[in-house]
Chain A
Amino acid sequence: MKPVKRKPTRPIVKKPVKHDTRQTRTAGGNFVDKLHAYRDHHAHALFSSLGRLVATPFTSIMTIAVLAISIALASGFYIMVINVQQLTANLESSNQISLFLKDDVTDEEAADLAGNIRKNPSVQTVKVISKEQALTEFKTYSGFGAAINLLEKNPLPIVLQVLPKNALQDKQELDSLFKTVEKFDEVDYAQIDMQWVERLHSIVEVARCATTLFSVMIGIGILFIIGNTIRLELHNRRDEVMIAKLVGATNSFIQRPFLYTGFWIGFISGVSAWFIDAILMLILRQPVEKLSGLYEGELHLIFLSFTETIELLIISSLLGVISSWAVLLVQLRHTRPE
């Protein structure tokens, strides 16, 4: 560790008392007092701007409702995308080849074929789903149970699910395995599940991109809505602004309550949007749980995480502050005292 160089202790020079009193008279006390006063002033501006919103409940609720619904829409889309995304992420592990066997293939022949395929070095396991198994599964999950009971003959084929080793690291290996197993006589139709997983992935990617664009659009809309609200507020409090200017208020002093108003509008809208999303999720939970049954329980709804919630609140508050700031920058320049 380096030795810390010490500055030679300077003799404390006392400021002349005369100077201190002068400062007290013109600038309102010492530095600490001023700092406290500054903090008090901020706190006052913070709560009085909230008080103003509460004092005009109808206007405030109208504005905040519009904003909250817009934010809830954008974040709702986001939630939808992350849910679909986690669903497809789970599907990735089920990359496998399904072999639908011809109708006349018997269970024994199917078992033989499965054993045959298992010998292939790039195959991990082969699962045989008999016609009966397939039918039971289908009856349980599809809801067509009664209708299927009416059928004379089981229409479902035997399926072999071939799971490759080192699942899908190598696409070529999978392809060649596919070509090999596809050629067996018993096989009616073969399909790599990955193909539709991949398709789903790109659909989700498009949805994700669209959600981002959509959110940006909503964000811009919110900027305009809050900006206009602040402009009206500034107009309503024009006298106050004028008088404050005449008694020596700086622009930042005048701006402060309006910036806080913008902050509150954004923040409260963000919180409301979160609750709207939460309610939508509660409503969707039951149907999704039913759907989850069809996917063998792999589907669980996810909601905004703690971090994402904080991000949502920060973004909506920032939108409020930024749009207020931009409006004030333009408007205060044109407000000259009369």
Chain B
Amino acid sequence: MLKFDNVSKRYPETGDVLHNVSFHLQQGEIAFLTGHSGAGKTTLLKLIAVMERCTRGEIFLDSQCLSHVKERQLPFLRRKMGFIYQDYKLLADRTVFDNVALPLAIAGFGHLEIKRRVRASLDKVGLLGKERKFPQALSGGEQQRVGIARAVVNKPPLIVADEPTGNLDPELSAEIMLLFEQFQQVGVTVLIASHDISLISQMNHRVLKLDHGQLVL
């Protein structure tokens, strides 16, 4: 489903951030990407979103080679992925509903379909009553769940999360992890970057450990 093949990333300022990274995620698999701060986790996720391009190697999503995707095809590629960020990246001047609806509006869904899907998605993360609220009026855990609802509303086959529990207490973190497991159960592939060792060890999932840009086993 997602395949890294000897991927390296070099920034002109900082040199090699990722070095010969290879792994393969199957469809419906959950994996944690872990490692010390500065190990290159965020960089690896940026390569998946094609926010950065790798210096060497190839990345495949299904059979599509991400290193050769043209700029104009990028939007359509990104619609196949749902991204979740540590800082949520919500639009402060839009309601919860509008935030979650954004990927659907972009994909050109009609408003009835948008309404149906947004409600289904908010229901899944337990925020159905808060559609009309603005993000500022929500707690951190709720904002993160809005971010998750937005990431899954388009039903992407791949979900990528960068430190999704970084700002949350352990209880909320566990709740969020449960959500990810629910998505896995319907066949979604999930990749979660996190340095929260205790959380990772509680759960029995594959772990990819980065150390100074190299994958260690």
Contacts and interface: CB of A to CB of B under 8 A. Distances in A.
Contacts of B75: 245, 248-250, 253
Interface stretch (A32-40, A62-70, A89-97): A32-40
Interface string B35-75: 00000000000000101000000000000000000001001
Interface stretch (A8-16, A107-115, A236-244, A299-307): A236-244
Contacts of A249: 75, 106
Contacts of A247: 78-79, 83, 102-103, 106, 150, 154
B51 A336 contact: yes
B107 interface: yes
Contacts of A337: 49, 51
Contacts of B77: 248
B83 A37 contact: no
A240 B105 CA distance: 14
B51, B83, B106, B154 — which one has the most chain A CB atoms within 10 A of its CB?
B106
Interface residues of B, number: 26
Contacts of B155: 25
Contact of A248 (B51, B90, B103): B103
Given A25-B155, A247-B150, A337-B51, A36 B106 contact: no
B113 A28 contact: yes
B111 interface: yes
A40 B110 contact: yes
Contacts of B106: 244, 247-250, 253
Interface in B78-96: 78-79, 83, 89-91
A330 interface: no
A248 B76 contact: yes
Contacts of B104: 28
Contacts of A242: 89
Contacts of A36: 110
A240 B106 CA distance: 13
Contacts of B72: 250
A245 B107 CA distance: 12
B83 A28 contact: no
B78 A37 contact: no
Contacts of A244: 102, 106
Contacts of B113: 28-29, 33, 37
Given A246-B83, A248-B75, A240 B91 contact: yes
Contacts of A34: 108, 110
Contact of B105 (A33, A41, A250): A41
B89 A243 contact: yes
B52 to A, nearest CB: 9
A239 B94 CA distance: 12
A27 B106 CA distance: 11
A38 B89 CA distance: 26
A246 to B, nearest CB: 6
A338 interface: yes
Interface in B127-161: 150, 154-155
Contacts of B89: 239, 242-243, 246
B23 interface: no
Contact of A246 (B49, B76, B108): B49
A40 B111 contact: yes
Interface in A126-144: none
A34 B104 CA distance: 12
B18 to A, nearest CB: 18
8 contacts: A25-B155, A29-B109, A33-B110, A37-B110, A240-B91, A247-B150, A248-B77, A248-B106
The 4 closest A-B pairs by CB, nearest first: A28-B109, A248-B79, A248-B78, A37-B110
Interface of A: 25, 27-29, 33-34, 36-38, 40-41, 239-240, 242-250, 253, 336-338
Given A243-B102, A248-B75, 8 more contacts: A29-B110, A37-B108, A37-B109, A240-B91, A243-B89, A247-B106, A247-B154, A250-B106
